Amino acid sequence: MKKICESVGFLVFVQGVAGLVNELTGWFRFWTLVRRLDFVGPYATFVNIVLAVAGAAVMVAADRLKE
Q: What is the pLDDT of residues 16-30, one digit of tens each?
A: 999 899 888 887 777
- Residue type, position 15, single letter: Q
Measured distance CA(8)–CA(41) in Å, rounded: 25
Distance CA 13, CA 38 (A): 21
Which residue segment(s) compose the domain that 20 sits in?
Answer: 2-63
Please name the amino acid found at residue 33: L
Q: Whole-model pTM?
A: 0.85
Tell me the average pLDDT of the chain: 89
The answer to whether 66 and 3 have CB atoms below 8 angstroms apart is no
Task: Considering only residues 31 and 21, tell me which one the structure prediction assigns the higher pLDDT.
Answer: 21
What is the 3-state composition of the chain as percent helix, strand, coil, each rounded to the nearest 5? 75, 0, 25
Q: Minimum mean pLDDT among 12-16, 40-44, 52-56: which range?
A: 40-44
Total count of domains within the chain:
1
